[in-house]
Amino acid sequence: MAKSSSDRIELLQGTLDMLILRTLLFGPAHGHQIAKHIQRTTEDLLQVEHGSLYPALHRLERQRWIVAKWEPAGKDLKRQFKYYRLTPAGKKQLVAEESKWKQLTTAIARIMWPVEEE
């Protein structure tokens, strides 16, 4: 069931980059596949708009964390998609981003659900 626009969550700056890198860890994908993977995996809670996705992909390319190559779209050899792949530098960046994400969520959890001291 699709979530209404009021149920969706806005991504923190930089989070989209981490989600793209994580998605590409599973293998090459074109932009639409990346967006659909994020949407499906989060049960429609996160929906990445093209206006956010493609600037993020271009930014990750400039950082050399991903590379892109035009390839035929499956059986339709007349149509091509730009497939993105994670680079070794991108894998290293993903590890760093995951570490920062864990620190951030732990810090927020401490504020939201503090442990009562005895």
State pLDDT tens for residues 67-105.
999 998 777 778 899 999 999 999 999 999 999 999 999
Mean predicted confidence (pLDDT) in 102-117: 91
Assigned CATH topology for domain 7-109: Arc Repressor Mutant, subunit A (1.10.10)
Contact 47/8 with Cβ under 8 angstroms? Answer: yes
Q: Does the pLDDT of residue 14 top 90, yes or no?
A: no
Query: Would you call 78 helix, strand, or coil by DSSP?
Result: strand
Beta strands 76-86 and 29-30, pairing class: antiparallel
Which one-letter amino acid corresponds to residue 114? Answer: P
- Under a CB-based contact definition with an 8 Å cutoff, are residues 73 and 80 in contact? yes
Q: Are 36 and 50 in contact (CB under 8 A)?
A: no
Q: Once rounded to an integer, what is the mean pLDDT over residues 31-57? A: 94
Q: Taking the model in full, what pTM does it have?
A: 0.86
Rounded distance, CA 82 to CA 27, Å?
14
Structural contact between residues 11 and 56, judged by C-beta atoms closer than 8 angstroms = no
